[in-house]
Amino acid sequence: MTKLLITGGAGFIGSNFVHYTLTNRPEYEITVIDKLTYAGNLDNLTSVMDKITFVKGDICDQNLMDDLVDKNDIVVHFAAESHNDNSLRNPQPFIQTNIVGTFTILESIRKFGKRLHHISTDEVYGDLALDDPAKFNENTPYNASSPYSSSKASSDLLVKAWIRSFGIKATISNCSNNYGPYQHIEKFIPRQITNILSGISPKLYGTGEQVRDWIHVDDHNSAVHTIIDKGVLGELYLIGANGEQNNKYVLETILELMGKDKTAYEHVNDRPGHDQRYAIDSTKLQTQLGWKPKYTDLRAGLQATIDWYQQNDSWWQNEKAKIEAAYAEKGQ
């Protein structure tokens, strides 16, 4: 058995990665380390608790990370503060977890000579203009905009430096916007679905013309496994599934799929410094490693996601009022 240490495995993508791995890759023995911040939820793992080892802890704790990295073969590093709007309210935890936390893991990896896969975001490249046909690729210069994306860019640069300076065995992936089950209701798609389910009007920032490149979380995670299996050490891969849509279209589609009037939403205050467009060219991953996305029908994916939030209202209902109150303070 190969021993896999998954950081942030109680969050959205990390918990989906745990489920995906248990279903598709039984050769892995899984340990999850997660601090259980507001974004981590043990309920995401309840059904598999007897199949994994769970450790509650902070990736910034060097002794803990040394112990866990020493006991495992591969580290898949998802743990992060992940929400742009929170990084505009208080950047401090982003600097601590995303930068200091990644540094701490790198030091353990260096000490014990283990393999690391670092999970990052397309936001490290900044944004593209709405009328620019270009997409991000592996040679696009880093140009992050927000405290969140600059902390992720910093973490990537640390990984690159540890590869070059110390020869650690590591790969990096930068993925576009994920959607699917277990996504925190602070994020765009689940916020709007749970607004509609709660009788609250959906909220579109600014004009809603900003474009995101949506990918189903299982496609992200199958790509991560492909990189762990076949990725060249020291390399970085972009992950995306040609899912570009503007926010207005996504919101109108959600309203339509939920049987509501397509115009039944509010325009609210825009996000300061709002990135306009993200778009991924995943040719390298597709041609060099043979990966392909499976869930390319966004309407079908949104319908399945709506069904999940409808069927799992106890998963999100307790948090709803608090999240909306924090947004209301910013007129969002």
Select from 3, 22, 25, 36 the one that contacts ligand NAD (CB under 6 A).
36
What letters, b where the CB count within 10 A reaches 16 and e where it falls short, cover 252-287?
bbbbebbeeeeeebeebeebeeebbbbbbbbebbbe
In the residue annotation, 122 being an active-site residue is answered as: yes
Catalytic-role residue among 20, 125, 148, 295? 148
* Residue 148 falls in the annotated catalytic set: yes
Task: Find the binder of ligand NAD among 60, 105, 228, 250 (CB under 6 A).
Answer: 60
Least distance to ligand NAD, CB of residue 80, Å? 3
Residue number closest to ligand NAD, CB atom: 11
Which residue's structure tokens are 């992940």? Answer: 82
Residue 252 interacting with ligand DAU (CB under 6 A): no
From 91-99, 159-167, 201-209, 282-290, give the range in contact with ligand DAU by CB under 6 A: 201-209
Nearest to 55 by CA among 42, 73, 70, 44: 42
Closer residue to ligand DAU, CB minimum distance, 176 or 282? 176
Contact flag: residue 34 with ligand NAD (CB under 6 A): yes
* Residue 112 within binding range of ligand DAU, rule CB under 6 A: no
Which of 122, 127, 156, 275 is labelled catalytic? 122
**What distance in Å separates the CA atoms of residue 277 and residue 107, rounded to the nearest whole number?**
35
Interface residue with ligand NAD among 40, 181, 231, 240 (CB under 6 A) is 40
Q: Which does 225 bind (CB under 5 to 8 A by kind): ligand DAU, ligand NAD, none?
A: none
| Residue 98 in contact with ligand DAU, rule: CB under 6 A | no
Of ligand DAU, ligand NAD, none, which one sits near residue 84, judging by CB under 5 to 8 A according to partner kind? ligand DAU
Catalytic residue among 58, 81, 85, 123: 123
Contact segment (CB under 6 A) with ligand NAD among 72-80, 163-171, 256-264, 305-313 equals 72-80
Q: In the set 31, 86, 121, 194, which binds ligand DAU (CB under 6 A)?
A: 121
Query: Where along the sequence are the contacts to ligand NAD (CB under 6 A)?
Result: 7-8, 10-14, 34-37, 39-40, 58-60, 78-82, 97, 101, 119, 121, 152, 175, 177-178, 184
Binding residues for ligand DAU (CB under 6 A): 82-84, 121-123, 176-177, 187-188, 191, 203-205, 210, 212, 247, 271, 278
